[in-house]
Chain A
Amino acid sequence: MNAPLQPDLAARAARQAEVVAALGAVVPPHILLWQPEEVTPYECDGLSAYRRKPLVVVLPETEAQVAAVLKACHRLNVPVVARGAGTGLSGGALPNEDGVLLALARFNRIKRVDPVARTATVECGVRNLAISEAAAPHGLFYAPDPSSQIACTIGGNIAENSGGVHCLKYGLTVHNVLQVRGYTVEGEPLTVGGLACDCPGPDLLAAVIGSEGMLMVVTEVTVKLLPKPVLARCIMASFDDLRKAGDAVAAIIAAGIIPAGLEMMDQPMTVAAESFVHAGYDLDARAILLCESDGTPEEVEEEIGRMTEVLSLCGATALKCSESEAERLRFWSGRKNAFPATGRISPDYYCMDGTIPRKRVADMLEAIQGMEGKYGLRCVNVFHAGDGNLHPLILFDANQPGELHRAEAFGAEILETSVAMGGTVTGEHGVGYEKINAMCVQFSPEEREQFFAFRRAFDPGETLNPGKQIPTHARCAEYGKMHVRGGLLPFPDLPRF
């Protein structure tokens, strides 16, 4: 077993020495890490099921260093993976074994908050929440609020087009960013977007946002800031039936209301969250909806009144409206802690992230119940219901032989069902390394080839975060074979749009 590995190890050590020498010639030694114990913390992101040690980790402190590292890597044809806070849940920042990991956490300066123009210009490693904190003295905030916002960076948000509870009303990252600056794979400076509302030509800013670090390395971002709503209130509604809760979501939207947040938890999730945070959730409810309104006091009163009416008509068995900020935060505490709460009821869990049309929410929950039986695993559900973005958490124990594999197959079937219902394989976490097989279900070979061609317009040698997001033909052929054999690919004939 060992014999064939030896030459590989020797070749890797030689390559490592070559890359370290090339980088050492252009950047100071204290920002380079390559000893096994030094690089171990960087071997995975928030999806710890996949791990790889990079050849070298670079912790640049200046833009000149970023450019120099990229130039050197380009010359040596070394893959480069950018990393923000590493909170990604799809293995987007998973390193390449023969590549450089560019860890950008030191780019953490807020360069400018312009209260008159309502913009903030920040370095890529600034944490999402830190932007709103810097804007708060001016009565402004940055709207996209992923649940990981205390930790994740704006650079990672750009790469994943992140969203959060508020994006139903305020949009995703793509709707809230004006300009992105950074470097091409060749180490040349590149600015996309601008400080004005639009630029001539195809919308490159939109294409860079959500590109999972495969088009450019972002170093600076200018975001839009919005006036902070004066008041927010939240309704907590209980339902004795999943279908009624799903229909209530559609009914609120159909009534012409766009809530500031509209989230759903099923009973097992509610029970797990309640025992973790004691938010006062209704444990008898089959599903709970959290429905928020924000704005001026007059606006909020008007909207809360209309939402209460719709929820009652839809058969809510109990309705509670927050009477204070403390109570509102308590309602949200369970939803915001859904992931750690799940961590307490199961040794491991696997978080999925598909999106479906809102009206299919109940169908999806029923389909998932069927899959629980099929795979012999439990699943708890938490949703950005207003957007149809699901986060089923599949519970398993990695120490039990076969459970991880069953959890992965369970997750794959959820994603395939999302596509069959007219949705998509990822709503906000990205494809990364994890969902690359699911992309074979959603896109045709021609579409995948077009993605590659588009990517080569930025990165002809395909060395920026290679092996992520877009699967090759070979990979899809392999996945297709596997699935046809297992008989798992549902509804292969349904249109994907």
Chain B
Amino acid sequence: MQADVLIPLWQDLVREAASRGERIRIHGGGSKAPWWAAAQHSGADTAEHTLDATLLSGINHFEPTELVITARAGTPLTEIEAALAEHHQFLPFEPPHFARASGGQATLGGMVASAMSGPARISAGGVRDYVLGASLLSGRGEVLRFGGEVMKNVAGFDVSRLLCGSLGSLGVILDVSLKILPVAPAETSLRFAMTQDEAIARCNAWAAQPLPLNASAWLPDRSGSSGKGVLTVRLRGARAAVQAAGAKLGGERMADTDAATFWTALREQTLPWFTPTWPGDSQAALWRLSLPTTAPALDLSGTQLVEWFGGLRWLISAAPASIILEAARQAGGHATRFRGGDARAPVFEPTQATLLRIQRQIKTAFDPHGVFPTLF
């Protein structure tokens, strides 16, 4: 449907819902299944209306020499990635699609709203680092634009980046402008046998040197209990730099096709490591722990996979939520129950009181009638 027809319809929907005290849930491509729990927790699943964000789709503006793309929020990520690939460009933060698990299509709006980034996040930055501008349909039914299409812009508060991680709670994202980058000339993946502690130490030491290190993943050996495992690192950058770094680091070089398959499967969580709780083990949950890269290996029951030089730990564990949340806090970060486990337990950890108050006031500032789901 044409945007100039659809958006006024949505504005009417929002204004009517606001006046009647009804709620709207924003339905993107349906790919980020893990977040259902978050939405249910907030009661948004009982919303009176569904707004299908995929109706608003298409690339508005793509200028390869400007390294900027602007597209409507319902545009499938696959469409955006294909358009960029034609010009040898890409989204450096490698957003996960999670299409297999959900059978849905990840959309641009869902990508920004959930702010999830893939393996390269630790070196290339996250979704928020590439958002330049966005339009929003607020809870007042107003269409607002923030940021823009240029790299440097400090006019007004940075609302477009604020939307990253908002999970549809501040309004409907209508379109987004992203900074993009050229595909690097060279790439190589190396493998090393080592324990989790060794992998974390090694990655941090390498990251302090001028090496074209782009991503890392440590997986435990199949038995899981031995503490042994394999670290895979990806080098990405200028040809000469990747070659020199490869020679310096050693390890076992992966075949390029195997490496590509591995990193995609890691990003999409289709590696066998992720399967025990998907689709149905009710006991164990998949937890996502975002920690300082230098936090030592966590002493928790279950199995762990470590990304981002130690900054991201995936944990499959049946341990009580309180223990996992506390362990993450002790390590200087936070944990999110990503899927599975006790559906009634909180998904996010509680926030400091002042921050929580401000977060709620921000929600009210954008959505004074509570039309969209409340997450905090």
Contact = CB atoms under 8 A, between A and B. Distances in A.
Interface centre among A200, A227, A457, A458 (most CB of B within 10 A): A200
Interface stretch (A73-81, A126-134, A298-306, A328-336): A298-306
A270 interface: no
Interface string A286-312: 000000000110110111000000000
B292 interface: yes
Contacts of B211: 227
Nearest to B209: A227
A167 interface: yes
Nearest to B368: A453
Contacts, number: 274
B244 A188 contact: no
Contacts of A161: 154, 158
B154 A210 contact: yes
Size category of the B interface is: 35 or more
A427 B366 contact: no
B66 A204 contact: no
A456 B211 CA distance: 44
A458 B358 contact: yes
Nearest to B145: A497
A302 B308 CA distance: 28
A24 interface: no
A175 interface: yes
Contacts of B292: 117, 195-196
B122 A197 contact: yes
Interface centre among A171, A206, A254 (most CB of B within 10 A): A206
Interface string B172-215: 00000100011101000000000000000000110111111000
Given A202-B163, A207-B158, A298-B238, 19 more contacts: A116-B294, A139-B209, A161-B154, A202-B362, A203-B164, A203-B165, A210-B154, A215-B157, A257-B182, A298-B240, A299-B212, A299-B238, A302-B239, A426-B155, A442-B156, A447-B156, A450-B365, A450-B366, A451-B156
Given A203-B162, A425-B155, A196 B238 contact: no
A450 B138 contact: yes
Interface string A195-231: 1111111111011011100010000000000011110
Given A207-B161, A497-B145, A296 B294 contact: no
Interface of B: 63-68, 70, 88, 115, 121-122, 125-126, 128-129, 133, 135, 138, 140, 142-146, 148-159, 161-166, 169-170, 177, 181-183, 185, 204-205, 207-212, 237-241, 243-244, 290-294, 308, 311-312, 332-334, 336, 348-349, 351-352, 354-355, 358-359, 361-362, 364-366, 375-376
Nearest to A249: B65
Interface centre among B88, B158, B291, B312 (most CB of A within 10 A): B158
Contacts of A203: 115, 128, 161-165
B366 A453 contact: yes
Contacts of B365: 450, 453-454, 456-457
Nearest to B87: A254
A115 B294 CA distance: 11
A157 to B, nearest CB: 11
A428 interface: yes
B352 A387 contact: no
B67 A455 contact: no
Contact of A202 (B67, B88, B169, B244): B169
A450 B142 contact: yes
A171 B125 contact: yes
B155 A439 contact: yes
B194 to A, nearest CB: 17
B158 A227 contact: no
12 contacts: A161-B154, A197-B122, A198-B115, A204-B162, A206-B158, A210-B157, A211-B158, A257-B182, A295-B237, A424-B152, A446-B143, A453-B366
A230 B68 CA distance: 30
B362 A389 contact: no
A470 B181 CA distance: 32
A299 B237 contact: yes
A384 B144 contact: no
A460 B240 CA distance: 55
A139 B210 CA distance: 9
Contacts of B138: 450
Contact of B151 (A188, A387, A422, A496): A387
Nearest to B332: A195
A321 interface: no
A497 B133 contact: yes
A457 B149 CA distance: 27
A114 B258 CA distance: 36
A111 to B, nearest CB: 15
